[in-house]
Amino acid sequence: MQQTLFALAALLVFSLTALSEHRSFASSEHRAVVGNLELAASDVASGYLVRALGRAYDEADVLPEAPLRLTTVGLTPTLGPELGETLATYDDVDDFHGLALTDSMLFDGSGLRFDVAVTVRYVDPANPRTGSATPTLAKEVVVTVVERSPAGNRPPARCTLRRVVTAAEQFFRR
């Protein structure tokens, strides 16, 4: 009888230990998957940010021979794409303002879908956290990416990247 109790106690201890190890492993696996999903969201966000920063500072600066911009004279007061422009034909940074779309990427053999939103605004060059109602020589580009339809009960992976770009920086980037 006593040996049976010891065997049952040993079986109980072994089961509890195995369950604890399984829980720990599952938790580590969950954190790794979530981290990889956040990296995927970051990749999508940085891709759109790089695309925006690869364009001219303003519609008035699109021509290759446009001089270095030292004043705000001639800057477009309205942000967003010009009439008829599409993502494929955006030619200046603020064309990306208001962009909202769904992007997909392959991850672990399955397709992930992300909602992408881009905002662009003029900011005070001396204090880039402060927006400006009038054109300035600095624009803030914010790309937000959120995973669409996350699996399970976890919150969606998300990433927001922010970059302030100046007219001079865009001139020398050409």
Give residue-wise pLDDT tens across range 89-108.
999 999 999 999 998 876 65
Domain range spanning residue 74?
A: 2-173
**Torsion-angle region of 98 (φ positive above 0: left; ψ -120 to 50: alpha; else: beta):** left
pLDDT tens, position by position, 65-78: 888 889 999 999 99
Structurally, how many domains does the chain consist of?
Answer: 1
d(CA 137, CA 75): 9
